[in-house]
Structure 1
Amino acid sequence: MTKPHFAKKQKKLSKDADAVETRLHQLKEVERPKELPPINMQVVEQESLQHRTVIRGWDVEGRAGDKRLWEAFDFSISGGDKVALIGPNGSGKTTFLRMILNDRDRIQAAPAVSFGYFSQMLEILEEEKSILDNVRDTSFQDETIIRTVLGRLGFFQEDVFKRVKDLSGGERVKTGFAKLFVSGANVLILDEPTNYLDIRALEALESLLGDYCGTVLFVSHDRRFLEKTATRIFAIHDKRITVFDGSYQEYLRA
C-alpha cells in the first residue's frame, strides 16, 4: 500500500514541477526584451574617417591654474573608437574633454571632424521648443531615423511634442542625446552621460552607442556602461594618463 501511495504522490509532484517550469519559461519568453534591429545612422564623412587618426595630441599636459593635473603625454584617437576617460573626481577628466574641443596648439583634429558635445548643463536644448523640434533643427538624418532614435529613448507618439521646459531631468538628458545622435557631428564628446538615467534609458543609450559608427569620447563612473561601451581606456591615475587599447574588462584584468 505504501509504495503505490508514494508513487502517485511523486507523479503528482513531478507534474506540478513541470507545470511551474513551463509557466516560468512562458514568463521569461514574455518578459525577455526583443533584440532590436540596428539603426542605420549615416555619419558625416564616415568612410573618410573610419579607422584613421581623427584626433592627435603631442606633449599634452593638464593644468588648473598652478595645479598640475597630469604629466605631458602623447595620444591619438581613430575613427570609430569608443574611448572611456576614467579617474577619480577632480583628476581632470572634464578639463581633458575641453582641451580636445578647444586646444588647437597641442591637440589637432582632422579637417573633416565635427564635434558634438554633451554636458549635464544641456546648453544645446532650447527650452521653449518641443522635443521633436529640438532634435529636428540640427538633424542630419531623415524623419524615420529621428523617430526611431526618439522611440529607443522612450519618446513615443504625442511625447515628442512636449516642450523642453516641461521635461524632467532624465527626459532632458535623453533629448540631448537624441539631438546629438542625429546631428551632423561625427565625434561625440560626452561628459557624465549616465547621470539621471534609469536602467531602461541607460540600456537604450548603450544600444545607440553600439549602432553609432562615429567616434565617441566619454567620461563615466558607471561600471556596466563602461563594460558595454568602451573599446579603449584613457585612465588618469597619480597625475598620469595611461592609454589602454581594449575593453574595460580587459583593462581591469591587465
Structure 2
Amino acid sequence: MRILKTENLGVEINAASIFHGVNLEIQKGEHVALIGDNGVGKTTLLKVLSGKTAHSSGKLDFAIGRDEIGWMMDEQVDESLPTMEYICMGNEACYHLKNKLEKMQEIWNQHSEDNAFIEEYNAALQQYMDCDGYEWEARLERISKELGIEQGWWNIPFSDLSGGQKTRVRLARLLVKEPQMLVLDEPTNHMDIESVEWLVGWLQQYKGTVLFTSHERDFIDRVATATFALTDTGAKRYHGGYSTYKEMVEQERNAAEALYKKYNQERKKLLDVIQTYKQWYQKASNSASERNPFAKKQAGRHAKQVKVKEKALERLESKKIERPKDNKGIEAFFDAEAFEAKHMIQMKNVSFSHQQDVPFFHHLHLQINRGDRMAVIGRNGSGKTTLLKLLTGHLLPTDGEVKLNPQLKVGYLMQELDQLNMENSILDELLVLEHLTQEEARTILACFLFRREDVFKKIKDLSMGEKCRVAFVKLYFSDANLLVLDEPTNYLDISTREQIEEALSVYPGSVVMVSHDPYLLRKVANRVVEIQSGHVSEYKGSYKDWEESKRLTPERQKLENEISLLEMELVELYSQEEENLEEIREIKAKLQVLKKSFGK
C-alpha cells in the first residue's frame, strides 16, 4: 500500500527556487532516509509534507490523513513542562478531560448531592470515553514502559533531560496517538552513542512507516530500507541505506565517465573525418576543370560526405554528454615541522573536579604519543570535553600534572571557532595563515566545498556548519602538530564529513577527537579511550576493533578486564619516583600469559 506520493514537487521562497521536480513514493512499512547537502531543502520538504509550507508546483498525495502521521520536527512547545505532562499534551483533549475528571473526583464528597455538578461530571466522563480516554491511558503506560521512560523522569522538566531522553519522550508523545507513519527530522541530534544504539534498535523492530532525515551514515545504514537523495533538481531513490547508495552512485559515475569518454571519441572521430573530407574536397576542387571531369565529380562526392558527417556531428552534439563532476581530493600544504619526540602529552596522577563536586577524574594516567589518532568516547556528561580541556590547558587539574612536550603545537577546534573574525571573508580568514598563497587558499577552500564566489562571503553571514568548516580548514593547515577536535562533524552534511575524514586520514600529525560519528571514528582512530563514571579505560586498536571487543563473550571480557587492570597497574608503577622492578617484571609476565590466551 502506498502511503504518500509526490509528482514534480517544487518550492519557491521569495522568488528563489529551493527545489523542483521532486518525485517521492513511500510504501507502507518502509523506513526511508532523506539525504542531501545542507541547504538543499530537506527540512523544507518535510514542512511541505506536514502542511506548514506551501508547495509552488507539482502534486502531493497522501493515502492517510496528516493527523495519522507523527511529526517529530522542530516544534514550539513549552519545554519547562514536567516530562509526563509534555507526553500527555500530545493529546490535549484527553489530557484536559482527564485532569478535569480527577479534580472533580477530589471534591466529589462536597458535591455528591449537587445535580448540576453530577451532570457536568457525567458529561465530562462521556466525552472522555468518546475520545477513548481509558485506552489512551493504557497506551501511555505501555509505550512509556516500552521506550524506557522511567518514573523518576516524570516530574523533571523536559528541558532538563539529556538528548537521548528527550528523543524517547518525544517519540512517546507521538506514539500514544498510534500514528500510521513517523516523520523524524535529525532524530539523533545531541544523542550519545549509547542513546543512538537504543534508537537504532527501537526503529529496527518498529513495524510502521518511517521517513527521516539524517547526516549519520551508520544510523542510515542500520535503519533505512530505502534512501532518497535530494538535490535542487529532484530526488532519486536507492534501495537500502547509505553504503548501498554510495556504491550505486559510484557505479553511476563510472558509467557516466564511460559514456562521456565514448561521446568524446565519437565526436573526435567525426571531426577528424570531416577535416579529411574537406581536405580531399579542396584538393579535388583545385584539380577540377572542363578537361578533368573526374576531379570535379570527386569534389562533389567529398562535399556531400562533408555535409553527411556534419549532420551526424550535429545529431551527436544535440545529445551532448557533460563530463561528470570530479570528486576533488584534499591537496595538502603542510608547513609544520615534523614532531620528533615520542610523547606529546603526559597526564600523571591527574584528578579534577568542579569546585567541591564529585571528581570527574581520579588519579588519571594518560599519554598522547606521536602518531596517535585517539577517539575519546562516552555518554553525554561523562567528561569528554573536560578531558580535552585538561589536555589543552584550558582547565587545570585539581591534583596531578599535565606535561606538554616543548615541541608540541596544539590546534583546538573550539578555540579556533571562537576566534574567527566575523568581518573577514572566508578567503581572508584562511589567508591569515601566512604560508599560504591566494591560489593555494582557493584550492584548499574548493576541496572543502567553498567554491567560486562563496570564498568572498563574510564569516558573520555563514551558517554554523559553514563556520565549523572554516575553523577546521584553518586549524588543519596551521602549524599545529596535534589537532584536538570536539565533535568536528556537528552541523555538517555528509559531503563535508567525508572531506574531513579524508583530510584527517592523511594528516601527518596526531589527533585527539570526541565524536559520536562511527564512520569518522572507524576511518581515523587507531586508539580508543572510553570514559565511564569517571573511570578512563583504553583500547589500543582501531575503533572497529573496539566495536568488535564490545561483542566479546563473558569469558573473553573477563580476560580483557584483567589485562586492562594490569596495564593500569603497570602505568602506575612506571609513574612512581622509585620503580619497583620486581613487581614490574611480575606484572609483565602475567600480561604476556593473558595476552597470549586472548590472542593479542
Same fold (TM over 0.5): yes
Runs of 4+ more than 4 Å apart: 31-38, 139-145
1:52-201 equivalences in 2 (<5 Å) = 52-65=342-355, 66-102=357-393, 103=396, 106-119=401-414, 122-201=417-496
Do 2:410 and 2:482's aligned partners in 1 also have CA atoms closer than 8 Å? yes
Deviations along 1:63-101, whole A, 9 cap, x unmatched?
Answer: 233222233221211122111110001111111111111
More off after superposition, 145-154 vs 236-245: 145-154
**Number of aligned residue pairs:** 229
Contact 2:336 2:478 in 1 (8 A): no
Look at both structures and tell me which one has the larger radius of gyration over its CA atoms: 2
Q: Using a 3 Å threshold, how does the CA distance of structure 1 residues 149 and 245 change in structure 2: closer, same or farther?
A: farther
CA distance in 1, matches of 2:447, 2:250: 27
| Aligned mates of 2:530, 2:442 — CA distance in 1 | 36
For 1:234 and 1:45, the matched residues in 2 are separated by 27
State how far apart, in whole Å, the 2-side matches of 1:236 and 1:185 are. Answer: 26
Normalised to the residue count of structure 1, the TM-score between the two structures is: 0.81
State the Cα deviation string for residues 86-138 of structure 1 (Å, max 9, x = none): 00011111111111111486111110111111129921210000111111103
Change in Cα spacing, 1:44 to 1:99, as seen in structure 2 (3 Å) is same
State the Cα deviation string for residues 37-75 of structure 1 (Å, max 9, x = none).
5634425221524xx111111112232332222332212
* Superposed displacement of residue 141, structure 1: 4.3
- Whether the aligned pair in 2 keeps the contact of 1:114 and 1:186 (CA below 8 Å) is yes
Per the alignment, in what secondary structure is the counterpart of residue 503 of structure 2? helix
| Distance in 2 separating the partners of 1:25 and 1:98 | 40
1:188–1:155 Cα change, 3 Å? same
C-alpha distance in 2, partners of 1:121/1:54? 20
Give the distance between the partners of 1:100 and 1:146, measured in 2 at CA: 30
Q: What is the distance in 2 between the residues matched to 1:207 and 1:179? A: 16
Partners of 2:427 and 2:359 lie apart in 1 by 43
| Gaps in structure 1 of 5+ consecutive residues | 1-23
User: Which residue in the other structure is 2:336 paired with?
Assistant: 44
Partner of 2:185: none
CA distance in 2, matches of 1:63, 1:39: 43
Aligned-partner residue type, residue 442 of structure 2: R
- Residue 21 (structure 1) aligns with: none
Q: Check the 8 A contact 1:139/1:182 in 2, yes or no.
A: no
Higher relative contact order (CA 8 A, sep 6+): 1
Name structure 2 gaps, 5 residues minimum: 1-248, 258-323, 550-600
Relative to total residues, which structure has the larger helix share, 1 or 2? 2
Deviation, 1:184, is 1.6
Sequence identity percentage: 35
Secondary structure of 1:178 counterpart: helix
1:252: Cα distance to partner?
Answer: 1.5
Question: Could you say what secondary structure the match of 1:48 adopts?
Answer: coil
Equivalent position of 2:118 in the other structure: none
Q: Aligned letter for 2:337?
A: E
How far is the alpha carbon of 1:33 from its aligned partner? 8.3
- Tell me which amino acid in the other structure corresponds to 1:57: M
User: Tell me, what secondary structure is at the counterpart of 1:137?
Assistant: coil
Partners of 1:128 and 1:163 within 8 A in 2: yes
| 1:157 positional shift | 2.0
Deviations 1:3-57 (A, max 9, x none): xxxxxxxxxxxxxxxxxxxxx99624149986755634425221524xx111111
